[in-house]
Structure 1
Amino acid sequence: MAALQVAWARHADDILAAQRLRYQIFAEEMGARLAPPRGAPAGHDVDMFDAHCEHLLVRAGGEHGPVVGTYRVLTPDAARRVGGLYSETEFDLTRLRPLRPRMVELGRSCVHPDYRSGGAILALWGALAEFMFRNRLDTMIGCASISMRDGGHVAASLWERLRQSHLAPIEWRVRPRLPLPVHELRRDLDVEPPALIKGYLRCGAKILGAPAWDPDFNTADLPMLMRIDDLPPRYRRHFLGGG
């Protein structure tokens, strides 16, 4: 496996490489129906938020290698400029207003299938933690997606399980704009969270409420929140060196 290098996008070509990977994962692998803006290049996942975001990339084999993992980060200042967060298209985030001055949104996370054994996502998380610390930000939110290829039963069962163990305090709860109809689905399946959600939970993340249904991506999206102060000591040492 090639050595991994993590860096923030500095040029338009870096962002295009991330958007190509996103298209490969979301459209070709997951079957998402993307609706890019007019003039967007074919074979790229592009939306109105991209121009306002910081893009984090993992490349295989050095700074000129292919992009094999990516996140995008919308900072509080950028969210004000663009008029809101991507998550607000799926959830009413009114109760999070007190957190917003130091809250970033993570989105469009994906890793190439050949690099999903853990190294790429840990590299991304380490750079994200350093970014948060350096910019005096303390809260991350985002939508964690669960495939709906089974009709939604896994997502409903996962919500039923996690609401009992990882639900956020009432003052941070949010409401989906298009709720997943969990009461019409099986909620008793013995399911494990996807690797990304499991990783978030290990880092102290909380579920902010019931999942939304995203018909374009054919996913159920769980709203999640993670605070730097809630990082368990071993992850704090790993990502921040104890800082």
Structure 2
Amino acid sequence: MSAIDILNRDTTEAAPPSTAAAQKDGDILGRIGNLETRLARTAREIDAAQAVRYRVFVDEMKAQLPLEAMRRQRDVDAYDAFCDHLLVLDRTIEGDPEDQIVGTYRLLRQDVAMANGGFYSASEFEIEGLLAKHPDKRFMELGRSCVLPEYRTKRTVELLWQGNWAYALKHGVSAMFGCASFPGVYLEGHALALSFLYHNVLAKNEWAVSALPHLARNMDLMPVEAVNPKRALMALPPLIKGYMRLGAMVGSSAVIDHAFNTTDVLIVLPISSISDRYLNYYGADAGRFAS
């Protein structure tokens, strides 16, 4: 849900590690300065990532989780048991790796999802129909995007995306999707931004996808001539702007998530839609970590 805008980033900022370093840390998916990204290695690291999620989603965004999760101060659900957990760690923080986690993403590959009851996003959006239109493709769901406030910088989101891309390369992923959120549950408060998405980056044809009928809320709230693009871009959450810069599309309807106090849209990002600029940029670094 929370992430940093990757628009207008300096592509010279990321310095790839040496081959020797990559070989030494075989499960590292990216490294920029004092930050590194990799998958969680232990149950303790997953628990620490859930604590970071709690700090952002509950303490900051006022989500209402089940009572046991609130008691434990952990954002946790059944999907955590079989998803991979991408972490960003600040290696300058003293202590164990669990103390160094400053950001996280939850990754769920299609084969794993199908073996465990499906995708998380299917509780809000018609994911099965999207998959059925692409039987030859491998999908991956991105979820629970979360970065601590003091680390919401271009460098951190660069590293998260480098990790996502390296992971996608490693597993032969053809397309990514996942929920992205606006704060709050009042649709009309986001009329400008939602209408802009609907008129400009709507997923169509074989990529078209809607919310489940009983949850679907209209995003076409303003006529196209009334939408000021500059104002709309300013009103978009940074995560969604980052997805757009990569070439993502959005589903045709939104969903109100009262538990998380958000308005959700579905992001759809075929690998083939990612611009050459970003493929070249992420590929240059992520390819080192994908084997």
Q: What TM-score does the superposition give when structure 1 sets the normalisation length?
A: 0.89
- Aligned to 1:233, which of 248, 270, 276? 276
Deviation at 1:27, TM superposition (A): 0.6
**Alignment counterpart, residue 162 of structure 1, candidates 190, 197, 202:** 197
**1:16 corresponds to which residue?**
47
Name the aligned partner's letter for residue 216 of structure 2: P
Q: Is the CA contact (8 Å cut-off) linking 2:102 and 2:151 kept in structure 1?
A: yes
Deviation at 1:180, TM superposition (A): 3.3
Higher relative contact order (CA 8 A, sep 6+): 2
> Does residue 114 of structure 2 align to residue 80 of structure 1?
yes
Q: 1:232 to 1:185 in 2, by over 3 A?
A: closer
| Aligned equivalent of 2:91, options 39, 56, 61 | 61
1:172 aligns with 2:202: no
Whether the 8 Å contact between 2:49 and 2:104 is mirrored in structure 1 is yes
Q: Which runs of 5+ in 2 are unaligned?
A: 1-32
Output the amino acid matched with 1:67.
I
User: Contact 2:203/2:209 (CA < 8 Å) preserved in 1?
Assistant: no
Q: Give the C-alpha shift of residue 93 in structure 1.
A: 2.1
Q: Matched residue pairs, number?
A: 240
Scaled by the length of structure 2, the TM-score of the pair is 0.75
Q: CA RMSD in A?
A: 2.5
Trace 1:1-243 onto structure 2 (pairs within 5 A). 3-35=34-66, 42-61=72-91, 64=97, 65-97=99-131, 98-99=133-134, 101-148=137-184, 151-177=186-212, 178-180=215-217, 190-191=231-232, 192=234, 193-241=236-284
Alpha-carbon distance between aligned partners in 2 of 1:133 and 1:182, rounded to the nearest angstrom: 33
Identical residues among aligned pairs (%): 35
User: 3-state DSSP class of the match of 1:83?
Assistant: coil
Post-superposition offset of 1:218:
1.2
**What SS does the aligned partner of 2:199 have?**
helix
Aligned-pair distance for 1:176?
Answer: 1.8
* Higher deviation after alignment, 59-68 or 198-207: 59-68
Deviates further, 109-118 or 187-196: 187-196
Runs (4 or more) in structure 1 with deviation over 4 Å come to 38-41, 181-189
Matched-pair contact (CA < 8 Å) for 1:95–1:171: no
> By how many angstroms is 1:172 displaced?
2.4
Deviation at 1:9, TM superposition (A): 0.5
Matches of 1:23 and 1:7 in 2, distance apart? Answer: 20
Deviation for aligned residue 1:194: 1.0
Any gaps of 5 or more consecutive residues in structure 1?
none
